Chains A and B, each alone.
Chain A
Amino acid sequence: MLQLNFNQLWRYQDEFLHGMSLTLLLTLVATLAGLAIGLAGAAAAGSRFAALRLFVRSYVEVIRNTPALIQLFLIFFVLPYAGLRLPPVYAAAAALSIYMGAYASEIIRGGLASIPRSQIEAGQCLGLTRWQVFRHVILPPALRNIYPSITSQIVLLLLGTSLASQVSAPELFHAAAFVESRTFRSFEVYAVVCAIYFTLVLAFRLAFAGIGRIAFRWPTGR
Chain B
Amino acid sequence: MRGFTISDVLTMLAAVQWTATLVVLALAFGAPLALLLARMCTGRSRLARLLATGILQLVQGVPVLGLLMFFYFGMPVFLGIKVPALVSVGAAFTIFTAAFLGEIWRGGIQAVHVAQGEAAACLGLTRWQTFRHVIAPQAFRIALPATVGFLVQLIKNTSLASVVGFVELARAGQLASAATFQPLLSYACVAAIYFALCFPLTLWSRSLEDKLNGAR
> A residues touching B (Cβ–Cβ < 8 Å)?
1-2, 4, 61-62, 64-71, 73-74, 77-78, 81, 155, 159-160, 162-163, 165-166, 173, 176, 186-187, 190-191, 193-194, 197-198, 201-202
Contacts and interface: CB of A to CB of B under 8 A. Distances in A.
B199 interface: yes
Interface in B111-164: 152, 156-157, 159-160, 162-163
Contacts, number: 111
Contacts of A160: 63
Majority secondary structure of chain A interface residues (helix, strand, loop or mixed): helix
Contacts of A187: 70, 73-74, 77
Contact of B159 (A67, A74, A165): A67
Interface in B75-96: 76-77, 80
A190 B183 contact: no
Interface residues of B, number: 39
Interface of B: 57-58, 60-67, 69-70, 73-74, 76-77, 80, 152, 156-157, 159-160, 162-163, 170, 173-174, 177, 183-184, 187-188, 190-191, 194-195, 198-199, 202
18 contacts: A2-B76, A61-B202, A65-B152, A65-B202, A67-B194, A70-B170, A70-B190, A71-B191, A73-B177, A74-B183, A74-B188, A81-B183, A166-B163, A173-B65, A176-B69, A187-B74, A190-B69, A193-B69
Contact of B177 (A71, A77, A202): A77
A174 to B, nearest CB: 11
Contact of A65 (B66, B67, B159, B195): B195
Given A187-B77, A190-B66, A190-B73, 11 more contacts: A66-B156, A67-B156, A67-B191, A68-B156, A70-B159, A74-B183, A74-B187, A159-B61, A162-B63, A187-B70, A190-B74
Give the 8 A-B residue pairs with the shortest CB-CB distance, closest first. A67-B159, A201-B61, A77-B183, A65-B198, A162-B63, A190-B69, A186-B73, A198-B61
Contacts of B156: 65-68
B170 to A, nearest CB: 6
A179 to B, nearest CB: 12
A139 B162 CA distance: 43
Nearest to B81: A1
B127 to A, nearest CB: 31
A118 B106 CA distance: 33
A122 B61 CA distance: 43
A163 B63 CA distance: 9
Q: Which of B70, B77, B187 has the most A CB atoms < 10 Å from its CB?
A: B187
A74 B73 CA distance: 29
Contact of B66 (A4, A68, A197): A197
A39 B142 CA distance: 29
A61 B199 contact: yes
A164 B128 CA distance: 46
Nearest to A195: B62
Contacts of B184: 74, 78, 81
B170 A67 contact: yes
Nearest to A190: B69
